[in-house]
Amino acid sequence: MRAQPKPEPEPPPKAIRVAGILVAAQGVLGVGFAGYLVVYLVTLAGAAALGIRAVLGEAAMFLLIGVGLLAVGLGLLRGRAWARTPAIVTQLLSLPAVYSLLGPSHQVVVGVLAGLVVLTALLSLLSEPARVWAADLDEARRRR
Protein backbone atom coordinates (compact mmCIF):
# COMPACT_ATOMS: atom_id res chain seq x y z
CA MET A 1 0.00 0.00 0.00
CA ARG A 2 1.41 3.36 -1.01
CA ALA A 3 1.44 6.28 1.38
CA GLN A 4 -0.63 9.25 0.33
CA PRO A 5 1.43 12.38 -0.34
CA LYS A 6 0.87 15.18 2.12
CA PRO A 7 -1.15 18.07 0.68
CA GLU A 8 0.78 21.22 -0.04
CA PRO A 9 0.31 23.76 2.76
CA GLU A 10 -1.57 26.89 1.83
CA PRO A 11 0.81 29.79 1.17
CA PRO A 12 0.77 32.61 3.72
CA PRO A 13 -1.22 35.76 2.92
CA LYS A 14 0.38 38.64 1.08
CA ALA A 15 0.78 40.64 4.31
CA ILE A 16 2.90 37.86 5.84
CA ARG A 17 5.01 37.57 2.67
CA VAL A 18 5.61 41.36 2.61
CA ALA A 19 6.65 41.28 6.26
CA GLY A 20 8.89 38.29 5.54
CA ILE A 21 10.68 40.16 2.77
CA LEU A 22 11.19 43.23 4.97
CA VAL A 23 12.38 41.25 8.01
CA ALA A 24 14.74 39.18 5.84
CA ALA A 25 16.10 42.40 4.33
CA GLN A 26 16.76 43.71 7.84
CA GLY A 27 18.66 40.48 8.52
CA VAL A 28 20.74 40.86 5.37
CA LEU A 29 21.59 44.43 6.40
CA GLY A 30 22.64 43.22 9.85
CA VAL A 31 24.92 40.54 8.41
CA GLY A 32 26.26 43.03 5.87
CA PHE A 33 27.04 45.58 8.56
CA ALA A 34 28.87 42.90 10.56
CA GLY A 35 30.96 42.18 7.47
CA TYR A 36 31.62 45.88 7.01
CA LEU A 37 32.88 46.14 10.59
CA VAL A 38 35.26 43.22 10.08
CA VAL A 39 36.58 44.74 6.85
CA TYR A 40 36.96 48.05 8.68
CA LEU A 41 38.94 46.27 11.39
CA VAL A 42 41.12 44.39 8.92
CA THR A 43 42.06 47.60 7.15
CA LEU A 44 43.09 48.89 10.59
CA ALA A 45 41.36 52.16 9.87
CA GLY A 46 39.25 51.84 12.97
CA ALA A 47 41.28 49.50 15.15
CA ALA A 48 43.29 52.24 16.77
CA ALA A 49 40.31 54.51 17.33
CA LEU A 50 37.80 51.97 18.64
CA GLY A 51 39.86 49.03 19.82
CA ILE A 52 39.94 45.57 18.32
CA ARG A 53 37.75 43.91 20.95
CA ALA A 54 35.03 46.54 20.72
CA VAL A 55 34.81 46.25 16.95
CA LEU A 56 34.78 42.43 17.03
CA GLY A 57 32.11 42.44 19.74
CA GLU A 58 29.94 44.81 17.76
CA ALA A 59 30.42 42.75 14.60
CA ALA A 60 29.45 39.56 16.46
CA MET A 61 26.33 41.26 17.84
CA PHE A 62 25.21 42.44 14.40
CA LEU A 63 25.98 39.02 12.90
CA LEU A 64 23.89 37.25 15.55
CA ILE A 65 20.97 39.66 15.17
CA GLY A 66 21.21 39.59 11.38
CA VAL A 67 21.20 35.79 11.18
CA GLY A 68 18.25 35.67 13.58
CA LEU A 69 16.27 38.19 11.55
CA LEU A 70 17.11 36.37 8.35
CA ALA A 71 15.82 33.10 9.83
CA VAL A 72 12.62 34.79 11.03
CA GLY A 73 12.09 36.47 7.65
CA LEU A 74 12.57 33.19 5.79
CA GLY A 75 10.22 31.52 8.25
CA LEU A 76 7.54 34.08 7.42
CA LEU A 77 8.08 33.61 3.69
CA ARG A 78 7.67 29.84 4.11
CA GLY A 79 4.48 30.30 6.10
CA ARG A 80 5.81 29.21 9.48
CA ALA A 81 3.56 30.54 12.24
CA TRP A 82 6.35 30.55 14.84
CA ALA A 83 8.09 33.40 12.97
CA ARG A 84 5.27 35.92 13.43
CA THR A 85 5.82 36.65 17.13
CA PRO A 86 9.61 37.26 17.00
CA ALA A 87 9.06 39.43 13.93
CA ILE A 88 6.49 41.56 15.79
CA VAL A 89 8.76 41.88 18.84
CA THR A 90 11.73 42.84 16.67
CA GLN A 91 9.76 45.56 14.88
CA LEU A 92 8.51 46.94 18.20
CA LEU A 93 12.07 47.01 19.53
CA SER A 94 13.19 48.83 16.37
CA LEU A 95 10.83 51.77 16.92
CA PRO A 96 13.09 53.52 19.50
CA ALA A 97 16.00 53.27 17.04
CA VAL A 98 13.84 54.91 14.39
CA TYR A 99 12.93 57.67 16.86
CA SER A 100 16.61 58.14 17.68
CA LEU A 101 17.44 58.53 14.00
CA LEU A 102 14.68 61.08 13.50
CA GLY A 103 15.21 63.05 16.69
CA PRO A 104 18.51 63.16 18.54
CA SER A 105 20.67 61.96 15.64
CA HIS A 106 19.12 64.35 13.08
CA GLN A 107 19.43 61.69 10.34
CA VAL A 108 16.01 62.38 8.92
CA VAL A 109 16.35 60.59 5.57
CA VAL A 110 17.69 57.38 7.12
CA GLY A 111 15.13 57.66 9.93
CA VAL A 112 12.21 58.04 7.53
CA LEU A 113 13.37 55.09 5.42
CA ALA A 114 13.90 52.91 8.48
CA GLY A 115 10.54 54.02 9.88
CA LEU A 116 8.75 53.09 6.66
CA VAL A 117 10.31 49.62 6.67
CA VAL A 118 9.61 49.00 10.36
CA LEU A 119 6.06 50.33 10.30
CA THR A 120 5.20 48.51 7.07
CA ALA A 121 6.47 45.22 8.48
CA LEU A 122 4.73 45.77 11.83
CA LEU A 123 1.40 46.75 10.32
CA SER A 124 1.60 43.82 7.89
CA LEU A 125 2.17 41.43 10.78
CA LEU A 126 -0.73 42.92 12.75
CA SER A 127 -3.14 43.14 9.81
CA GLU A 128 -6.42 41.27 9.70
CA PRO A 129 -5.27 38.70 7.08
CA ALA A 130 -2.15 37.94 9.14
CA ARG A 131 -4.16 37.59 12.34
CA VAL A 132 -6.72 35.31 10.70
CA TRP A 133 -3.94 33.23 9.14
CA ALA A 134 -2.24 32.78 12.49
CA ALA A 135 -5.55 31.98 14.23
CA ASP A 136 -6.46 29.41 11.57
CA LEU A 137 -3.13 27.68 12.07
CA ASP A 138 -3.71 27.58 15.81
CA GLU A 139 -7.20 26.14 15.32
CA ALA A 140 -5.88 23.48 12.93
CA ARG A 141 -3.22 22.47 15.49
CA ARG A 142 -5.84 22.17 18.22
CA ARG A 143 -7.88 19.73 16.12
CA ARG A 144 -4.96 17.26 15.83
Look at residue 143 and tell me whether its pLDDT is greater than 60.
no
pLDDT digits (tens, 9 = 90+) for 17-61: 999 999 999 999 999 999 999 888 888 765 566 678 888 899 999
DSSP string computed for the chain:
-PPPPPPPPPPPPHHHHHHHHHHHHHHHHHHHHHHHHHHHHHTTTTHHHH-HHHHHHHHHHHHHHHHHHHHHHHHHHTT-GGGHHHHHHHHHHHHHHHHHHHTTT--HHHHHHHHHHHHHHHHHHTSHHHHHHHHHHHHHHHH-
Instruction: Please give the mean pLDDT across all residues of the chain.
Output: 88
pLDDT score at 55: 83
pLDDT score at 139: 58
pTM of the entire predicted model: 0.84
Percentage of the chain lying above the pLDDT 90 cut: 68
Q: How far apart are CA 124 and CA 13, in angstroms?
A: 10
Per this entry, what is the length of the chain?
144
Q: How far apart are CA 105 and CA 70, in angstroms?
A: 27
